[in-house]
């Protein structure tokens, strides 16, 4: 979640690291914890409650904030229409062809997670061969259909996300067998994955699931899988070794949905670069601009998240109570 926040700064040096894993690993984890105990109907209802209700509430906050800013600038109607359109369409970015689409921003992830979870849950009714074909078919459909135009509600991104969710699901199914693998083999596997990830970062071109953009194709998918594997391993190792940051990071993880929703409002309306320029005009060294932006965004988002997490109504909407 922290990687997503700093990834939106648009700094190439940061992006070539965090964009290799930050969104895919969320899909990977979603697949790992996906359960088939509920019926498909109840499963979809639950996902709609936990993903689409927070989406709708966050969009309402964005529209309201846009109107308030519009009232000050004398264009409240335009702001309302712009953000309502973006909310209903559910695209993660702006598009100009074949018609104008206003992006709602980072919470496209909630729609994509909803679709991907639903697709994967449905696939569990199939035999293993057909399931693989179904997941690969969805990925291919999502990837190539983006050349036509961007469909509403980020369904193409959800189709591509299904592949990463399926890999997480496979890991859960294989975890007992993985325990039987000798530690030396696991160590070699982690080292190889880390080297592949390093090459991915060095040769990074693009990897934006918000656009179903997989950069250089299969080689980057492999690099992304290795990146996710190393991140999961580092997380496990940090917990095993009782690293001092484990508890605060786990707390951020617990409230990651709320962090995302707060972040998208902050990303849309807080003028961090103008704030940094103002701080520099008051004597802050120009060389500290990036550090100021990173620390400022993270502290601000986490502080607002903490405040929101104490509000009973917010906890109910986000499914924390």
pLDDT at 188: 94
Tell me the C-alpha to C-alpha distance, in Å, between residue 74 and each of 64, 70, 79, 80. Answer: 15, 6, 10, 12
Return the CA Rg of the chain.
20
Q: How many domains does the chain have?
A: 1
> For the whole model, what pTM was predicted?
0.92
Task: Supply the range of the domain harboring residue 115.
Answer: 2-318
Let me know: does 214 contact 200? Beta carbons within 8 Å: no
% residues pLDDT > 90 (the chain): 79
Other Cβ atoms within 10 Å of 229 Cβ, number: 22
| Per-residue pLDDT tens over the stretch 220-233 | 999 999 999 999 99
Residue 95: beta bridge partners?
A: 101
Please, is 120 exposed, middle or buried when counting C-beta atoms within 10 Å of its C-beta (0-12, 13-18, 19+)? buried
Other Cβ atoms within 10 Å of 117 Cβ, number: 24
69-74 contact pairs (CB < 8 A, 24+)? 69/269
Average pLDDT of span 154-164: 96
Average pLDDT of span 260-272: 93
- Average pLDDT along the chain: 93
| Per-residue pLDDT tens over the stretch 175-226 | 888 888 898 998 999 999 999 999 999 999 999 999 999 999 999 999 999 9
pLDDT at 239: 86
Give the DSSP letter of residue 97.
S
pLDDT at 240: 83
| Per-residue pLDDT tens over the stretch 55-91 | 999 999 999 999 998 888 888 899 999 999 999 999 9
Let me know: does 101 contact 89? Beta carbons within 8 Å: yes
Residue 101: beta bridge partners?
A: 95
Among all chains, which residue has been given the structure tokens 């909630």? 110
Q: Nearest 5°: phi and psi at 37?
A: -70, -35
């Amino acid at each position: 979640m922290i990687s997503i926040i700093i990834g939106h700064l648009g700094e190439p040096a940061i992006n070539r690291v965090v964009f290799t894993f930050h969104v895919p690993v969320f899909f990977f984890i979603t697949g790992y914890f996906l359960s088939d105990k509920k019926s498909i109907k109840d499963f979809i209802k639950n996902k709609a409650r936990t993903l689409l209700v927070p989406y709708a509430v966050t969009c309402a906050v964005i529209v309201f904030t846009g109107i308030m800013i519009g009232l000050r600038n004398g264009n409240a109607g335009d702001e309302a229409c712009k953000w309502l359109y973006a909310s209903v369409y559910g695209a993660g970015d702006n598009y100009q062809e074949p018609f104008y689409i206003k992006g709602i921003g980072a919470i496209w992830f909630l729609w994509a997670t909803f679709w991907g979870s639903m697709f994967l849950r449905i696939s569990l009714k199939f035999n293993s061969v057909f399931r693989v074909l179904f997941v690969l078919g969805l990925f291919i459909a999502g990837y190539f259909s983006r050349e036509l135009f961007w469909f509403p509600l980020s369904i193409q991104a959800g189709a591509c996300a299904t592949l990463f969710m399926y890999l997480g699901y496979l890991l859960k199914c294989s975890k007992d067998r993985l325990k039987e693998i000798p530690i030396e083999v696991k160590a070699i596997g982690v080292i190889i994955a880390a080297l592949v990830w390093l090459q991915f970062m060095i040769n990074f071109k693009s990897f934006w699931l918000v656009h179903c953009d997989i950069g250089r194709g299969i080689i980057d998918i492999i690099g992304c899988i290795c990146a996710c594997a190393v991140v999961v391993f580092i997380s496990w190792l940090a917990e095993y070794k009782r690293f001092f940051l484990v508890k605060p990071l786990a707390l951020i993880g617990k409230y990651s949905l709320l962090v995302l929703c707060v972040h998208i409002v902050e990303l849309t309306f807080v003028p961090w670069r103008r704030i940094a320029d103002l701080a520099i005009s008051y004597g802050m060294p120009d060389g500290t601009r990036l550090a100021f932006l990173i620390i400022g965004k993270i502290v601000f988002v986490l502080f607002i998240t903490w405040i929101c997490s104490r509000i009973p109504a917010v906890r109910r909407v986000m499914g924390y109570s």
